[in-house]
Structure formats: structure tokens, C-alpha cells
Amino acid sequence: MSIYIDPAVANSLRGFEMPERLGFGTVMAPVMFRAVCQDGCWSSGELVPYAPLALDPAAKVLHYAQSCFEGMKAYRTRNSGVNLFRPERNAARMAHSAERLCMPPVPEALFMDGVRTVAAYCANLVPANSGESLYLRPFLIGTQADLTVSASTSYEFYVIASPSEAYHAGHMRLWVEREDSRAAVGGTGDAKVGGNYAASLLSISRLRARGYDQSLWLNPGNRHTVDELSGMNFFAVMEGELHTPKLNGSILEGVTRDSLIDLAEAQGYTVHERDIDIDDLLALVRSGTCSEAFACGTAAIISPISVLGDGEVQYELTQVPGPVSEHLRQALLDIQEGRAEDPFGWMQAVAPIEV
């Protein structure tokens, strides 16, 4: 389908000034992609100036949380090109999230139109420093104005973008969350929906007051195996081997998690996807058998974990950052930023469009 480019886009892009400090997700690119779905029929997409949305106060998304999103990045390569990383994985995951919330999946071709158009027009906004990128945030919302509890008949799909540094650069102190759950068994834990993040905020505000950065969520069914961190997946390194919670329906299947498993195995590491009991893990950290742990995600890439806090007790990792996470972070960034061969076929080049 053809994509309509609003003539005002050129001025918006020309008028944009990149600030000196980027941070994560606070500077917004001046354009966005939009498509609408009415009664199951998708429009073609359009690129328009970034602007607030006009939503009816009775829109389903505001009351019944019909909303899902993706996180992905456009990377600057060493020859000044722009790359997307495994975008079809994000398209598939967003379709899964949409179906879980009874929303019409964004067709893969439309999803690709959205991310490729934004990346192409915003090519000059992709930062050049290693570890920085143009963070892309596709999202889908139910817009029908109707307070009955039923699926919306109308939806809007957007792709916005933000030139960003890595999320959570530096080491992280994790709090083992033994009270709250982020998602119920049989709920939405393996879907990327706003409600999962809303459910994590109270825990995060409590732990921040205690000097921690993120919650380490336990499985909501058994309350004793490790699930994930909400915005990131979890890995531990024990005697040089990698261990990560196996997917179980309440863990979001991270694209970075999946890529690191393939990359680590290709580099000769053994990777175990298994249930990790929290008390066993803490004992292994205490004994030094687990020397290194890290969180990974699109936004964060790889963030080393320095401490696991459980109630009043702190379990300190001895290698922060450890050699395995350092090695994998660099190997992944080398592929994403075009310094190394891409034996997996993960990268997709985007041709920049000048306005």
C-alpha cells in the first residue's frame, strides 16, 4: 500500500535540533507514522508531524487498557548507514500482544512500512555514538468511544521515535519482589501490554526508596522461580555458563534475550534455559558460584547487575560488569552497528530519505 507523506513533515524535520544530552525516551522525533483500523479494515499508513492525539474521553484504551507496544531500534552503522535489528520479530510479537487483548493484529507489511518510513525519514536523527540509537516505539490502541466492556471496533497504530542513549546504562541493584506480581498466570505476562508495566510501578517506587533500581519478578504461579525484570530479561553466569529463565507464559519473549542465546552459543558458551529457583540463585551468588548476572532488552542492551536484595539481606555479585556480559554486549553491538559480520541475517538496511 502506498504511504502518504504529509508535506508538513519536511519542515518538522528541518526544524529539529538534536539536544546535547539525549537520555532515554525523552527527546521525541518530530514526525510519526499513523494508520487506522475500522471494523477490521486497515487504512494505508501516513507520515505526519509529531503531535498530541485526539482521543474521545470514552475511548476503550483509557478505560479497559486495550493497548500494546513494541520497543526496537535503528542503529547508525560505521559507513553512515541505518540498520534495523530483526524487525519481523517485533511485528510478530506485537501481533501476539494484540491478539491477547482482542485487538486486530497490525499486518506485518503495515508494521514494516511504519518502522522503515520513520527510520528512513529520521535517518539524520540516528545518533552516531556506540550504544546510542533511534529508539522506535510502535503502539496500537483501541479508540472506540463506548464504555461497555467489549473489544473496540476502531484502532489506531502509531510509530514514534526517540534518539536515545541506552536505558539503564551502568550497573543495577535488583530487589527480589516476593509480594506483588506483574502479571497473573494465564494473564498477559508474555504480551507487551501497558498493563504489565503499570502493575510493576508500585514495586519500583517502593524499592527506589530503599536504594534499588528494578524489581526481579518471580513467577506468579509458584512464587519461587525467577521470571524477569518487566522491561528486561534476566541472565546469570555460573562457572562460565549462562542460565536464563525458560519461557513459561508469564515471561516476555525478549528479542535481545533470544538473540543473546544464539550469539552466546555461536561463541561457544553453554546456555541453559531453565527454571531458576530464587533461593538457589541467592545461595549461588553468596558462594561465588554465580559471579555475574545481567539484564538485557532492546532499550537496555545489556546492564550488569551488582546486587540482589532480598528483604534486609544483600547478595553482591563479584564481577560487575563481568567478562561474559561485556563480551556479549560488545559482540551484539558490533553486529548491530555494522562493525562485525552478521552471520544470523539479523540486520536490515534502511535507505535514508532526505527532505
Q: Which residues bind ligand COI (CB under 6 A)?
A: 71, 167, 231, 297-299
Judged by CB, which is closer to ligand COI: 285, or 299? 299
Judged by CB, which is closer to ligand COI: 71, or 163? 71
Q: Taking the complex as a whole, how short is the minimal distance between the CB of residue 199 and ligand COI, in angstroms?
A: 13
Judged by CB, which is closer to ligand COI: 34, or 93? 93
Judged by CB, which is closer to ligand COI: 104, or 231? 231
Q: Taking the complex as a whole, how short is the minimal distance between the CB of residue 204 and ligand COI, in angstroms?
A: 11
Q: Taking the complex as a whole, how short is the minimal distance between the CB of residue 283 and ligand COI, in angstroms?
A: 30
Q: Which three cell numbers stand for residue 355?
A: 527532505
Judged by CB, which is closer to ligand COI: 152, or 200? 200
Q: Taking the complex as a whole, how short is the minimal distance between the CB of residue 38 and ligand COI, in angstroms?
A: 28
Judged by CB, which is closer to ligand COI: 166, or 350? 166
Judged by CB, which is closer to ligand COI: 37, or 94? 94
Judged by CB, which is closer to ligand COI: 45, or 71? 71
Chain residue whose CB lies nearest ligand COI: 71
Q: Taking the complex as a whole, how short is the minimal distance between the CB of residue 224 and ligand COI, in angstroms?
A: 25
Q: Taking the complex as a whole, how short is the minimal distance between the CB of residue 156 and ligand COI, in angstroms?
A: 20
For cell 548491530, the residue is 336
Q: Taking the complex as a whole, how short is the minimal distance between the CB of residue 149 and ligand COI, in angstroms?
A: 27
Cα-Cα-Cα-Cα dihedral sign, residues 59, 61, 66, 68: positive
State which amino acid sits at residue 322: G
Q: Taking the complex as a whole, how short is the minimal distance between the CB of residue 164 and ligand COI, in angstroms?
A: 10
Cα-Cα-Cα-Cα dihedral sign, residues 249, 254, 257, 258: positive
